[in-house]
Amino acid sequence: MGPVKRLRQDLVTGKNLEIYVTALIALAVGVLGVFDAVDEKVVGAATLATLALVAVNALGPRHQVADLETRVAELSRQLERSLAGGDFLSQDRESLSGRVGRAGDIRFAGVTLSRTVRRYADDLRQALEHGASVKVLVIDPVGAPPEEAARRSTIPDQRDVFASRVRSTLYVLRDLHSHDGLEVRLLPLVPAFGLLMLDPGDDDGIVYVELGTHHSPGNDPAFTLSPRRDHAWCRHFTAEFDRLWEVSREVTDADWHPAART
């Protein structure tokens, strides 16, 4: 759009009138001052008036930006208050498909992880072949953890179910144990949630948190965090994983080959 058309449109719609008035006054004062058509006091007064208009014009956009920021903040608060559970909770892990094999820092934590490890076994192998670090935490199949898991799932007399699932997970991981990047540890307790973490220290990483349930079919509800967007919460769950790792024990040959137990 040319300057003449823009001027005509602004005058018709009433936009930017204060800018045109300021420019007109400044031009008139300048011309009159050059030709000594008016007294110096008048020129000085007109100059001050022009500067005042410029200052007022400069304040306008700042106030508009401040008002806009206030409105955006209020809309964000309204959105947080009105966010439905289905908007952030999900049972679908399809968003993680393909990401596991490309990650360099992979961390799993859960009760047995029997379905998870089987699902991502090929991706874990691919990541390990590329030099990734893979850490896996599951409950200890020996001792109290399987009993605790059974009680939490409201089937207290079926501890062997959880012990068998852990051994199934270890059986799958045993085929990957030849890779140096794989570390597996056993927990003396049942974790309060499950974790699937892919490069949690990078901005484009993923922290997938699965909420434990007592006894329900299908996958447990979960939510996904982004280090770029949810930095504080990603640090929180990374620290939780590290604490669980510290209290766990390393897998022994007897754990890899349970038939060899005496």
DSSP states along 91-132: S--GGGTTTGGG-SEEEEE-S--HHHHHHTHHHHHHHHHTT-
Percent of the residues in the chain that have a pLDDT greater than 70, as a whole number: 63
What does the mean pLDDT of the chain come to? 80
Do the strands 105-109 and 133-139 form a parallel or antiparallel pair, or are they unpaired? parallel
| From 83-87, 146-150, 226-230, the region with the lowest mean pLDDT | 83-87
Cα separation, 169 vs 136, whole angstroms: 10
User: What pLDDT is stored for residue 73 in this prediction?
Assistant: 74
Better-scored residue on pLDDT, 60 or 202? 202
Q: What is the pLDDT of residue 137?
A: 97
* Mean pLDDT across 99-109: 94
Q: pLDDT per residue over 120-147, tens digit each?
A: 999 999 999 999 999 999 999 999 999 9
- Whether the pLDDT of residue 14 is over 80: the answer is no
pLDDT at 189: 95
Q: How far does Cα 44 stand from its chain's mean position?
A: 58
pLDDT number for residue 179: 86
Q: What is the pLDDT of residue 178?
A: 82
Q: Which domains, from first to last, does the chain contain?
A: 3-82 (no CATH), 94-260 (3.30.870.10)
**In degrees to the nearest 10, what's the CA dihedral of 48, 51, 56, 57?**
150
At 192-235, the pLDDT tens digits run: 999 999 999 999 999 999 887 776 556 678 888 989 889 999 99
The residue among 112 and 258 whose pLDDT is bigger is 112
Task: Give the model confidence (pLDDT) of 157-198 as tens digits.
Answer: 888 999 999 999 999 999 898 888 999 999 999 999 999 999
Is the pLDDT assigned to residue 68 strictly greater than 90? no
* Length of the chain (residues): 262
Is the model's pLDDT at 13 over the cut of 60? yes
Name the pTM for this structure. Answer: 0.65
